[in-house]
A and B are shown apart, each in its own frame.
Chain A
Amino acid sequence: MKITHIIGIIVIVVAIAVIVSTTKDVSTYVTFKEAADMAASGKSTKVHVVGSLKKDATGNILEMSYQPEIDPNHFTFKLIDRDNKETIVVYDNPKPQDFERSEQVVVIGHMQNNEFIAEKILMKCPSKYQETEIKGTEKAGSQASL
């Protein structure tokens, strides 16, 4: 057997290992129900859930809680997934700065006791990259409180 063949075989083995490990370690985009089923069946893999925030008619986020003076690393909010199922998401980190402005949110983590424990939050703020409305310049005049 020529040495190039041995190397060739090693390369193929490594390449297969790469692909297998990728398919093993990849996460999936699921709904909360699927995430709960996965957690219930004992699978500990992290999943992605795409959802939108619960907002009222004027755009204020509902059922969001962050009390930094009690615990700066505890933030919870409600997310509505593709199936319109609402679930509480717990994020043990400070509240992300742009959170209020985001429309679509991707949370990465796992379900635990009917709550989704997020390790990472990806936010899509449409306005971050693209302006959606036109505003005139607001001039901040000097204010004297008389």
Chain B
Amino acid sequence: MIHEGIGNFGHFAVILSFISSLIAAYGYYQMSRKEDILEVNQWRRFSRAVFFTHFGAVVAVVGTLFFIIINHYFEYYYAYDHSSLSMPTKYILACFWEGQEGSFLLWIFWHVLLGLVFIFANRQWEAPAMTVFMLVQAFLASMILGVVIPGLNVKIGSSPFILLRDAMSDAPIFKTQPNFIPEDGSGLNALLQNYWMVIHPPTLFLGYAATLVPFAFAIAGLWYRKYTEWIKPAMPWTLFAVFILGTGIIMGGVWAYETLNFGGYWNWDPVENGVYIPWLTLVAGLHTMLLARKNGTALKASLILVVSTFILVLYATFITRSGILGNASVHSFTDLGLSGQLLIYLLVFTFIAIVLMIREWKRIPSADAELAVYTREFWIFMGITVLGLAAFQVLVPTSIPVWNKIVELFGAVSNVAPPADQIEFYTQFQLWFFIVIAILSAVGQFFWWKRYESAKSLNWLVMPLLIALLLAALIASVAKVAEWQYIILLYAASFSLIVNGRILWMIIRNGYKLSGGAISHMGVALMLIGILFSSGYSKVVSLNMTGLMYSRGEDFTKDDNKENKENTLLWINEPTRMDKYIVTYKGKRAEVKGVPGYVDPKLLGSADVPFRAVATNPIEKEGKVYYQKGDTVRVYPENTYYEVEYRDEEGRVFTLYPRVQKNGEMGGYAISPDIQKEPRRDLYTFVNYDPGMAGEKKEWSKPEEFTAHKGDTLYLNDYVAVLDDVTRVTDIPGIVLTSSDAAVKANIRILGKTQEYIAQPTFVIKDRMVGQMSETINDLGLRVSFLNVNPATGEFTFGVSRTQKDFIILKAIEKPYINILWIGSIVMLIGFVISIFRWKR
């Protein structure tokens, strides 16, 4: 049965949220224009009532979509497309915001919560700021409206409550069965089945949502002509936005590093740049706001930066969701037909902000005096200039696809593509910007806390300069940093670390409250050092060291074989030398709910549904039996782990389990690394290729027949084997044997290179029919079947087929001192939190 009611309710709630946001925007607009206190209060009551209606409607939309997904109503396109029956509960959350509609909804939801806090925390600013808020909400709600304007045939928004049969009206099944409901959904893309998918998007969207508050304050300040008054109440909100957006960005980096197979934490993909640019401008805005509160010098800059941040967030949304990136990014959304709407959204707010800014520009106070070099203002201005340039440098190449589109609009052809090597391209600039930022964050702090009185007070900086020089020289020589650019970066970061550390020491004696800035700056300096080592000096470990030349062609051997020798092929159970390790691939492993670690898939027989399995033998770990033979267990068929054992020169042994995820319904594979974490470095390992996962069928040779008596020695495909025994069996899983049936099992011992294997093929006679159950030994690439029994002579006949042995292709990278990056990120975020508390009073 199709549950139409719930979807209609959801759709109604969407429409209600859209209309209520428009009415609330109107109400708040009226309220902001009134002078009379009675009238103001009337409009306040009205607007708040509408806002709460809007709040309720949004909660209803969210709740309805959850209800549909949790109850597996696959007649709804959203549930069908993003979830499946076997999906663990925690990923239900993730599939809620996997789709475009859901992520808009998440964004709307955060706005509503922030608006609620805002109403009570910043009552004086309620009217103008909430006008902006509700206008933004109206635009966002229109994205999920899914309404066709009659007559015009224009569709506004894409509803998450659309039925599958309407979404895929071309599918032939609906012609014959209009009420068809699929039994299962197509599930969440394997790449996204991950706890980071549960926490990263909400954090990032909260960060996006939070940038609206400083924007709303800035617009309100311009509108009310309270040019400086908005700064103070906007301060904690701005810090909050910087903090949350920063956390979201770092989480994305950790996700990319730990689970996605980026081989690193930052790829300079347009989608990543889209959050990085507004974060930089907001950090710059934060610094000018600190100045603007003291005097008028930085007011205009603050307004510009805060407004640009919000516009850049909209721009990022536009480029990632309009499909404009097309060939430039692999992980942008496909076009839902919203690009026009998104463009209008972007242009409306850019227009409003620019018009207000131009109207008020002359009246905004500004300092006429020339910036003196020995002032805090000068150094902070220098800092924000560099931050702005850094943002600009990322913005220009990221916008190339947009540029191409604009040129196409005018009929010309532009075929400019983003830089081919993005990491190298961006790094060559960002490296220098951040060298300067590190230096300025130190000098700026000095001028902020130590008043410059004479040339003598500059002596304060001499000591840190010398200590940093020593420190950088020490680190460079111990860690063998040879490139001059990196040595300069190291020196700049050490200098920032020491100056900010010294200032921290000075101010912390008067309480921690003012320490946020120094701590954040130290965090940035540490991050820079961590990035320097982990990116600049990461080393490919999995070089082909077998001594085997795969090819002597010029393509293969040039550049010291570098081009193509960064992967190692590992045959199963064949120890291979790789750098300073002996590495052994020990086979595929599965995951079983309730059992720690990983389980040999041989212990798991298939059951009625893909995500369940029957234990063919007791499952035990370290002496504890978790499941008995025949128990049904919960498995995760999409995950395959590869047991890879490393043994180093000192005899130390560790095992890594890199993973490949397969999404059966949707196809596709996702590679995840496993990381050996050590204080001084990470060893990063992932499986690049496995013939089985890539869908290649094993090809077996034609069986060769062998005849033997009990105790005979056989030669199976170069291996010596002994037929130890043939015994009668009464119990075969999956088959019911009656008294008239018979089954025998052979016990063949095969001597492999490193260990013995037992093959137990079975010969069954059931209901006068003969059956053979063969046994496959993947390690040896052998399959043995029991072909015949000759009771007269006591001879047994076996068939042996051969195939290629299992193997994987593995890549391993060493990332030195990456922990400094993570520690630095945490230190930076702690600094933001301290500042938020300081500004909240």
| Interface set of A (CB-CB < 8 Å, partner B) | 2-4, 7, 11, 14-15, 18-19, 21-22, 25-30, 45-48, 50, 68-74, 90, 92-95, 97-98, 100-101, 104, 106, 108-109, 117, 119-120, 122-125, 127-131, 133-137, 139-146
Known: A71-B564, A134-B182. A98 touches B668 (CB 8 A): yes
The answer to whether A4 touches B370, judged by C-beta atoms less than 8 angstroms apart, is: yes
Nearest 5 CB-CB pairings of A with B: A46-B420, A71-B550, A92-B564, A73-B564, A97-B669
Task: List chain A residues, Cβ under 8 A from B416.
Answer: 26-29
Partner of B669, one of A18, A98, A106: A98
The answer to whether A146 touches B735, judged by C-beta atoms less than 8 angstroms apart, is: yes
The answer to whether A122 touches B330, judged by C-beta atoms less than 8 angstroms apart, is: yes
Task: List chain A residues, Cβ under 8 A from B711.
Answer: none
Q: How many angstroms from the CA of A73 to the CA of B568 in the assembled complex?
A: 9
Some 10 contacts from A to B, beta carbons below 8 A apart, are: A7-B382, A26-B416, A28-B417, A71-B550, A74-B564, A101-B668, A122-B327, A125-B667, A131-B80, A135-B182
Task: List chain A residues, Cβ under 8 A from B551.
Answer: 70-71, 74
The answer to whether B772 touches A145, judged by C-beta atoms less than 8 angstroms apart, is: yes
The answer to whether A142 touches B417, judged by C-beta atoms less than 8 angstroms apart, is: no
Chain A residue nearest to B568 (CB atoms) is: A72
Q: How many angstroms from the CA of A7 to the CA of B568 in the assembled complex?
A: 52
Chain B residue nearest to A109 (CB atoms) is: B420
Task: List chain A residues, Cβ under 8 A from B605.
Answer: 142
Chain A residue nearest to B167 (CB atoms) is: A131
Q: How many angstroms from the CA of A145 to the CA of B381 in the assembled complex?
A: 77
The interface stretch among B183-191, B514-522, B648-656 is B183-191
CB distance from B461 to the nearest CB of A (A): 20
Known: A4-B370, A68-B569, A125-B667. A94 touches B389 (CB 8 A): no
The answer to whether B550 touches A70, judged by C-beta atoms less than 8 angstroms apart, is: yes
The answer to whether A26 touches B735, judged by C-beta atoms less than 8 angstroms apart, is: no
Chain B residue nearest to A128 (CB atoms) is: B668
The answer to whether A29 touches B417, judged by C-beta atoms less than 8 angstroms apart, is: yes
Known: A27-B418, A108-B420, A128-B189. A137 touches B735 (CB 8 A): no
CB distance from B74 to the nearest CB of A (A): 10
The interface stretch among B200-208, B483-491, B688-696 is B688-696
The interface stretch among B14-22, B54-62, B607-615 is B607-615
CB distance from A15 to the nearest CB of B (A): 6
Count residues of B near A (Cβ-Cβ below 8 Å).
Answer: 82
Return the CB mask of B366-386 against A: 1 if under 8 Å, else 0. Answer: 000011010000100010010
Known: A28-B417, A141-B608. A11 touches B693 (CB 8 A): no
The interface stretch among B4-12, B113-121, B124-132, B763-771 is B763-771
Q: How many angstroms from the CA of A71 to the CA of B550 in the assembled complex?
A: 5
Chain B residue nearest to A23 (CB atoms) is: B416
The answer to whether B392 touches A129, judged by C-beta atoms less than 8 angstroms apart, is: no
CB distance from B478 to the nearest CB of A (A): 34
The answer to whether A135 touches B665, judged by C-beta atoms less than 8 angstroms apart, is: yes
Check: B344 CB closer than 8 A to any chain A CB: no
The answer to whether B671 touches A97, judged by C-beta atoms less than 8 angstroms apart, is: yes
Partner of B327, one of A100, A106, A128: A106
Task: List chain A residues, Cβ under 8 A from B670.
Answer: 97
A-B contact count (CB 8 A): 191
Known: A128-B189, A139-B609. A95 touches B370 (CB 8 A): no
The answer to whether A22 touches B370, judged by C-beta atoms less than 8 angstroms apart, is: no
Known: A72-B809, A127-B667, A142-B605. A97 touches B415 (CB 8 A): no
Chain B residue nearest to A135 (CB atoms) is: B665
The answer to whether A69 touches B569, judged by C-beta atoms less than 8 angstroms apart, is: yes
The answer to whether B420 touches A27, judged by C-beta atoms less than 8 angstroms apart, is: yes
CB distance from B573 to the nearest CB of A (A): 16
Q: Which of B64-87 contact A (CB under 8 A)?
A: 80-81
Chain A residue nearest to B100 (CB atoms) is: A129
Q: How many angstroms from the CA of A7 to the CA of B380 in the assembled complex?
A: 13
CB distance from B555 to the nearest CB of A (A): 7
Q: How many angstroms from the CA of A97 to the CA of B330 in the assembled complex?
A: 14
Chain B residue nearest to A50 (CB atoms) is: B327
Chain B residue nearest to A115 (CB atoms) is: B555
CB distance from A50 to the nearest CB of B (A): 6
Check: B334 CB closer than 8 A to any chain A CB: yes
Partner of B688, one of A22, A27, A47, A94: A94
Chain B residue nearest to A99 (CB atoms) is: B694
Known: A92-B563, A97-B694. A131 touches B370 (CB 8 A): no
Task: List chain B residues, Cβ under 8 A from A47.
Answer: 417, 420
The interface stretch among B274-282, B306-314, B355-363, B393-401 is B393-401
Task: List chain A residues, Cβ under 8 A from B550.
Answer: 70-71, 73-74
Q: How many angstroms from the CA of A144 to the CA of B667 in the assembled complex?
A: 27
The answer to whether B171 touches A134, judged by C-beta atoms less than 8 angstroms apart, is: yes
Q: How many angstroms from the CA of A63 to the CA of B613 in the assembled complex?
A: 39
Chain A residue nearest to B389 (CB atoms) is: A14
